[in-house]
Amino acid sequence: MMKSVSRKRSVWLCAMIASAVIWQVPGISQAAEADDYELDQVVVTANRVPTKLSESAANITVITKEQLEQRHYSSLGDALRAVNGVIVSGKGFHGANQAVRLNGDDRVLIMIDGRRISRPEGTGNDRANLDLSTMISLSNIERIEIVKGGASALYGSDAVGGVINIITRQGQETQNTVSVSGGSWGERNYALSMQGREDGFGWYLTVDKKHQDYSEYNVLNSALNPGSHKGDTYRWKNSDFDGQGLTLRLDKELDEQHSWTFNLEHWSDEGGQPYSISYASDAQSSHLSNNLAFTYNFNQQDQVPGYARIYSNYHHQEFYGPYESRTNGFQYQTGWQFNDKNKAIVGTEWVKSEVMDSTGGYQNKSITNAAIYGQDIYNLTNKITLTPGIRYDHHSKFGGQTTPKVNINYNVDKNTDVYVAYNRVFNAPNLDDLYYDNYYQGNPNLKPEKGYVVSTGLNKKFNNQTSVKVNYFSSELSNAIHWYPDDPSDRWNSVWRAYNITKEKKHGVELDINHRFSEKYYADFGYSYVHLEQEGDNYGIITGINTQPNGYRVNVGYSDHQWGINVGAQGVSGRDTTRFTDSSYWIWNVAANYQVNKATQVYIKGNNLSNEAYEINYASTKGDYPMPARNYQFGVNYQF
């Protein structure tokens, strides 16, 4: 009873903090004198060329570098999890697999500066192809563009749920930044970034070191911790973590129209893998990722810039054995601005992905894919834009795949646009799906997943302070790939196999409201709903396991030249209590910055302020993957 009262008090405290940010900090009277805020942005991911967000005919969210700097996210997964409609899996300790879902789908293409960094073997998390915990740090990111909805016509396989494009920073004025932070559970982080530009040559270098002695969780299922009560805090055994990373971007301007760019991303980590509460593990795991890319840019001042790129991604993992994979690729894209109403792009891609060694019992397996694509952006009138596109992929195992698209955007007025988008999609099985030969059994006879995604939406800017986005989507996949146990009543001791089920259907809606009370005060609210159905020959029609049927996101904050405060909330409701301990939860986080002088900033961040006991991943035993308990971080950034 006392714990329940304490938790209610914590929730009320969080709500009071949020209210104070808006109503009690001096200066709110400035709202009536607000400046003209720019609520539109230029993005490149939706159409592969720079396009205003309001003209992109897609459901797009942008995480800016200012948001990353002010909110002090611990990882890429934390930053994405704060976005409305995004789900990022988690088990509550560093180094655990993190898979992202867009529109409830983890068939998501993740890129850095437009090049894919997916792993050919998958990650073991449903249909995901990248573990976010092995990604680069946040200190070299300019912005993150998130496009929800099918995008196979431009990007091919993996882009069924959408695309996440991480755009890195270019070196500008000479500046160095040292960051030191520490916090709960022996957390210690050190970072250095160096940037500059001279005679057309720019550099941006980051070095990061992360350490944590252990993690803690709140009990969800007291049966897993004998003698405990729900909400009690325990230490994850075997949850130490060490990670280090380095990124480097070099840019050289040859002339106004031509330049080259070199990118390097390195990440390595090692730490304990407790796995779950019921199945405590003493195992250690490690990851090593090295990505290299060289890009030649041309026509970069034109409306349709072009580029040619070669890249290579290498990944090595040790966890009960090795996983070693490599992806090499080539990209070329060019285009034309025919007139003020019509521009087009064409491009080609070639990718070879291979697994050299695998704990899954197979070695030296590879797939190759070659593709050509084209898209035309045509202004039928000064209000209507039609964007058809088509892509042809030739897969070394599955042959030819053609995916068309057509988007229509209608500008009702200068502050309102509506759109409809139809995209055919496909997703090829990854190498684990095909060849895994261990406790799990792959299926070399699998077929590619094929289907469509339809989206319709509205973007409305009511005034200089308030904007609203609404999106509805519906998708259907045939031959959807899922893993099922031979004996569903004994999931732990049964062999799991990959199957093509008959159909997988999804539909959902998102609502985003963004408001500026003044130049210094803001509030963002988001709601999302996703429904999933799976239809299999041997399983009938079932409602899929959904970790976030109803999702809620809230951010309120204050920012000026000296202070920055952000209170964020993430909520979920409507979950199946036969899979999860609770149908709903709310998490509250806060970040506060203080600019001591021009060179020095100090900050504090609190995560899960109400000390909520919650889970994101589901397991055969409810509550087996609890998320972190309340924790804090203190830090200093110094520029010189």
Q: Compute and round to an integer the Cα radius of gyration of the chain.
A: 24
Query: Contact 405/420 with Cβ under 8 angstroms?
Result: no
Q: What angle do CA 457, 463, 464 make, to 5 degrees?
A: 110
Q: What is the pLDDT of residue 538?
A: 57
Among 49, 79, 159, 51, smallest CA distance to 111 is for: 159
Indicate the helix (H) or strand (E) that contains 88.
strand 86-88
- Neighbour tally for 329: CB within 10 Å: 18
Q: Got the DSSP string for 578-631?
A: TTSS-S-EEEEEEEEEEE-SSSEEEEEEEESTT----BSS--SSTTSSBPB-SE
* Structure confidence by residue, pLDDT tens digits, 469-522: 999 999 999 999 988 888 877 777 788 888 898 899 999 999 999 999 999 999
pLDDT digits (tens, 9 = 90+) for 274-316: 989 998 889 999 999 999 999 999 999 999 999 999 999 999 9
pTM for the whole thing?
A: 0.92
* Site of tokens 């035309």: 376
Contact in structure between 410 and 456 (CB atoms under 8 Å): no
Using DSSP, state whether 80 is helix, strand or coil: helix
pLDDT digit string (tens) for 14-27?
444 344 333 333 33
Q: Which secondary-structure segment (H or E) carries 458?
A: strand 449-461
Q: Give residue 10's pLDDT band: very low, low, confident or very high (50, 70, 90).
A: very low
Domain boundaries, position 448: 2-639
Residues near 63 by beta carbon (within 8 Å), at least 6 away in sequence: 79, 80, 83, 143, 144, 146
When divided into structural domains, the chain yields a total of: 1
Nearest to 385 by CA among 341, 424, 351, 427: 341
- Which structure tokens are listed for 351? 């990718």
Other CB atoms closer than 10 Å to residue 33's CB: what's the count?
8
Judged against a pLDDT cut of 90, whether residue 95 lies above it is answered with no
Find the CATH number of the domain harbouring 426: 2.40.170.20
